[in-house]
Structure 1
């Protein structure tokens, strides 16, 4: 597999990298000779990214446009120490890992270690997260446990998607993006003020692409997609202190699964099935390729009231998800080996949150307090097929999950102006799980946890501060839907993180340097492993037998070289040390999954030419990540491994003003410029069948044009 060694980057990249030696994940915009301020809401209040004592990456709408992102699946390479792997069964299901903590499986009765939120609404299931979201204002990635302020308690971190809200100005946006493989993406946004204090905003996105691998057999090509998404927002401000926001979103996604290749064949099939070491342009499976479908929709009502004691907010939301997926793991072969023949899932959720954010008049004390309620119902039906024979009975699972929580933080800054501040917080969470399957009528279990936190912050200069943070998080226990003993629950896991950070802006705010180091004590880790000595890889068990230390560092740099040239650099380091593992195994076999030891990103944003009515700009970015394992245990040496790889992307853009508030733009873009072959997944669950290792490749080189019109 291609991928440069950390000691020397490939020579052919030198011309691409030399201009980018200083560089962040989102390129900061320049404003009158200094880097612009980035506003985030990571701690439940609007504040500068430089004032938030947390390791956070924020990508605003401008940065997202430069990398061609319209959803979560597009941001992975922009954030070191964040990994995203599409679940093998259904390519709209995203599994996230932050600092080596995440979820290996997708189940109704287990929560993700990384929480995803849209405008403050928790998205319980990761199925459908790959669907694109129109009209995003920014995406914030919070690294580390979030056990004090967010809707659900998580051990890995949180990802916040913030959409644009209606305003009192008539405006519209239309973009059309075209590319190879029949790629078409159209985004339409209209903002319409109806009356004083009342405005609506509508957006529609159409995203279609043909398959990247031609299917010579029956069915559509591999890895094709057709996504339609719409959103409607209304904002009503009847008084100067009260704001009501309503949002409705809808997404319908049809796709075909990507092709899994046999990387290392099992001994029983040696000489019968070929090992496939490179991407192919044409493939054929012994059975017809079937489509997968995902449909999601949701309503959200947010009421915000400004009072004398702070801002009181209520967030009420209801969401529905329907998911149907198909995947064939037979490889590019002539034999029917293993298929997820029919996987269907339905889910509904209701969430209610009320919180108060404020501070005393002298600024000495700041506070956040809130109550949270979550209710979820769902069911899953699945049939697995081995060699055209269904060896196990179909799984039909019913799930009911409920959670209650109360949380609060209190910050103290002496005299309201002291360079020193301390914030303490805590959250009490109670979870209940109820489930049934086609054999057991019903099982239930309950879990509760108090997760405290403390942050000390000190401003060492006008534009520089350091902080120390101890944060805790936990994931509730649950039931493994694919286990033989469905009645035996697995317990909760917990994580305590110790973090030191620096936030600084130097040289009249032309250089921004943010850094953090951390050490995490991870206990009772929820391991999901394939049951030994049986043929069905979907037959798994979840154990609480893990204890490890995960440690690392993050560095984010932005440099305004000239008023027309901004460079950025981000780096992440991860290490792990397992101290306790399941089934009496050796700790030497275990490592943090989806946690490359080194990962980096560089980018360059350059205004090449100023015209009387416009400008020409160039944006380039380069990412590299170290090798990483996709499961926590080495079943066999050298499998479940994604080798190191690198990617380079570029966009050249022409913007022209055609009126006081109107603009047209034209762009040429290219992703994976050097057409790298790289893995995005590696599976080691088929040893008892045909393959010690199966892999899936990332997208080949894609390129195209984009037109944009706004007024």
Structure 2
């Protein structure tokens, strides 16, 4: 496979465009920061990716580092925004709960979140694992650096992560009194304030750090029906740390944090219409016309919507952790004990338009997690270095789902038969058909009570054998146990309050019952999953010269299996298919080669990596064929593969100028997925019987395949080409009696076209786009920094996500990216 990987890398190099990797790093103003620029001559960036302090260039892992100053300067103050600095990191969010972070196209299935599986990209904050990507949607506050590691990391980190890890380190308490302040204001009534103070409490024994952050911004989408702006920001956070140097060899740090968010968010709305295989009079245009309805604008970038359900994305998250380090001389013993919570209270409009189709769609959720990691690692460089660890994790989630259908649901979700020739668009076959009777579905309500417990335990370790001063071999091993138990109970009631009976007899006796059961069907099941697995990796690293490092890695990894907790697909009698209650673990084979180089007296950095990852039993999101189902379920695709070439480069030709370019070429495909959901242009028609040929795509009233073979097609959310690039130039200046530098900076990013649907569709392709950000300011070393910023400077219109309305109506809804924003930031430290 390494030979194939080398061959593939050479094929990519022959193409006319440049390919992909990590973000380079630079020594920060305070000596602790790394960002997207070349290091000063002789400067080294220290990271802890392998659970020990090492320079970033010597670590045989494809990784990128973004420092605290770079986060502030570029406006990358949350996980979503750092994607503009990191070509191989993808982040998608339709609201905090439905968020996913992927690296190299892998990590989480594309679509609505299913609580019963785990993420492939681990989020760690001060060595604590955050089990839900939603709980990592906080604003970065008092951040020292962010390390983005690509590829499996299960032999170094407590939780097994098959795609990579985002390792966030905050600034530590200081025994020298210090304070930091950052204030920003901009258009859309944007206001952000961050502050931190640190100093000793007891001489050189106890120190404290306190930090806080507030972000508020008016939404960028205007709701003409409710008279308010949507997709706003309203975030507050507090964080405290107390460091106790109990002895010269023992230190303990107690962390506590609390975050509260309550914005008007999050809306997706009309983007375009595509033809499906549903009868033409049952597709969006005819249905809207029959209701006398028109959206406020058919151009999504007018940023107007009329959704009729109040939107809310309220969440509270926080926790406590205790980090203890005991220096034993030849080794350090580390303990990380943590408890965290996440409470989610949403309100969504899941029909995406101003008609009362689905009037309520909400899944309030409460999560609690406890984790304990115990680790011992050798100190200094020895013939054999090691990191050995034990990890325990326990998580509970309680969810109270609610879905309510409205007066327009019957028209949109039920099939009325064929209307007589010459009938008006959206007409029913007869006025007595259920589709023309709002009372059939109006008030139909599903109340879902969902419980989940997740227990995980592991022993892991990695050795590094220094065969010579230049050659090292690093094998790693992980033994892992996972157990998941769930409960899903959905009770459906009619608009009159009667409990819906979807038994075969009840459906045979009444077409009204049958139509209701086809939209919302009661379910009750208790899935369980448990599994032991063994995984490992081996890396061979060679130091060619002090500034040239090469490595090759093979990893065999597993992503835990899971259980479906969003409802199961239904059989012909609208009963849940219980065999779909669990999904198998993903099995990962990963190959990587890399080269890390510095030259021109370390004023230039160029790092290159090639990777080839194959996954069998890939966990994919599949949609239910039932018309009213909003959420997909999980299934195993046969096999996927992602391969690519990455590079990051930085150059400091003079002390005044920094340049960086990072790029990624990623070829991510389903190698085998023969039982996939069909794209919208092949959905909505009469399901093909055995031996019956489906109609061509986009044939109204046609025959739809039972499923689709999408083998060989692209994975969703992954651009083939992605780049980030930028520069900063400064000149000495004296302003208002202060000596410092005037500087100008630019940061740009580009993504090529990508699919926004689990099964690629021409209706949900998102065109490639480029974004440009500028800043101009004045700064002092360890003093004032004031700058004006302009983001998305050319007001590029682009979508972050496209999705389909349920019911195969052909309506495609979208979430536009942020428009041009501008403002001023002032920061200082003393």
Q: TM-score, normalised by structure 1?
A: 0.91
| Distance in 1 of aligned mates of 2:386 and 2:152 | 20
Contact 2:309 2:360 survives alignment (8 Å): no
Name the counterpart of 1:310: 331
1:177-196 deviation per Cα after TM superposition (whole angstroms, max 9, x unaligned): 00000000001100021122
Give runs of aligned pairs for residues 431-510 of structure 1, distance below 5 A.
431-438=482-489, 440=524, 442-484=526-568, 485=576, 487=578, 488-510=581-603
Name the counterpart of 1:19: none
Cα deviation, residue 521, structure 1: 1.2
| Distance in 2 of aligned mates of 1:42 and 1:276 | 48
Give runs of aligned pairs for residues 112-511 of structure 1, distance below 5 A.
112-195=119-202, 196-218=204-226, 220-265=228-273, 267=280, 268-270=283-285, 272=289, 276-285=298-307, 287-331=308-352, 333-338=353-358, 341-358=361-378, 363-388=382-407, 389=442, 391=444, 393-414=446-467, 417-438=468-489, 440=524, 442-484=526-568, 485=576, 487=578, 488-511=581-604
Secondary structure of 2:80's aligned partner: helix
| Distance in 2 of aligned mates of 1:93 and 1:559 | 38
Secondary structure of 1:279's aligned partner: helix
Comparing 145-154 and 696-705, the one that deviates more: 145-154
1:378-397 deviation per Cα after TM superposition (whole angstroms, max 9, x unaligned): 11111223445455622210
Name the counterpart of 1:644: 768
- Pick the aligned partner of 1:622 from 727, 732, 748: 748
1:260-300 deviation per Cα after TM superposition (whole angstroms, max 9, x unaligned): 23233355122535683441244322x24232200001100
Comparing 270-279 and 202-211, the one that deviates more: 270-279
- Pick the aligned partner of 1:694 from 813, 816, 821: 813
| Structure 2 CA distance for partners of 1:493 and 1:390, relative to 1, 3 Å | farther
Name the counterpart of 1:682: 802
Name the counterpart of 1:47: 54
| Distance in 2 of aligned mates of 1:243 and 1:380 | 39
Contact 2:22 2:86 survives alignment (8 Å): no
Cα deviation, residue 23, structure 1: 11
| Distance in 2 of aligned mates of 1:220 and 1:650 | 30
| Distance in 2 of aligned mates of 1:312 and 1:142 | 23
Name the counterpart of 1:82: 89
| Distance in 1 of aligned mates of 2:557 and 2:359 | 37
Secondary structure of 1:346's aligned partner: strand
Comparing 131-140 and 242-251, the one that deviates more: 131-140
Q: Once superposed, what is the RMSD of the aligned Cα atoms?
A: 2.4
Secondary structure of 2:272's aligned partner: strand
Secondary structure of 1:317's aligned partner: strand
Contact 1:23 1:604 survives alignment (8 Å): no
| Distance in 2 of aligned mates of 1:367 and 1:490 | 35
| Distance in 1 of aligned mates of 2:751 and 2:458 | 38
| Distance in 2 of aligned mates of 1:689 and 1:166 | 55
Aligned residue-pair number: 679
Comparing 289-298 and 689-698, the one that deviates more: 689-698
Contact 2:752 2:767 survives alignment (8 Å): yes
Cα deviation, residue 423, structure 1: 0.5
Comparing 128-137 and 582-591, the one that deviates more: 582-591
| Structure 2 CA distance for partners of 1:68 and 1:512, relative to 1, 3 Å | same
| Structure 2 CA distance for partners of 1:39 and 1:27, relative to 1, 3 Å | closer
| Structure 2 CA distance for partners of 1:33 and 1:353, relative to 1, 3 Å | closer
| Structure 2 CA distance for partners of 1:74 and 1:403, relative to 1, 3 Å | same
Secondary structure of 1:699's aligned partner: coil
Contact 2:26 2:39 survives alignment (8 Å): no
Contact 1:94 1:127 survives alignment (8 Å): yes
Mark the runs of 5 or more structure 2 residues left unpaired by the alignment: 1-14, 29-36, 408-441, 490-522, 569-575, 676-706
Name the counterpart of 2:106: 101
* Greater gyration radius: 2
Name the counterpart of 2:31: none
1:345-365 deviation per Cα after TM superposition (whole angstroms, max 9, x unaligned): 000000000001105x77211
Secondary structure of 2:784's aligned partner: strand
Cα deviation, residue 710, structure 1: 1.6
Cα deviation, residue 25, structure 1: 5.5
Cα deviation, residue 256, structure 1: 1.9
Q: TM-score, normalised by structure 2?
A: 0.78
Name the counterpart of 1:596: 719
Name the counterpart of 2:679: none
1:537-568 deviation per Cα after TM superposition (whole angstroms, max 9, x unaligned): 22x32111320221001100010110110100
From the two aligned structures, give the one with the greater strand fraction: 1
Contact 1:219 1:288 survives alignment (8 Å): no
Mark the runs of 5 or more structure 1 residues left unpaired by the alignment: 1-5, 10-21
| Distance in 1 of aligned mates of 2:309 and 2:285 | 25
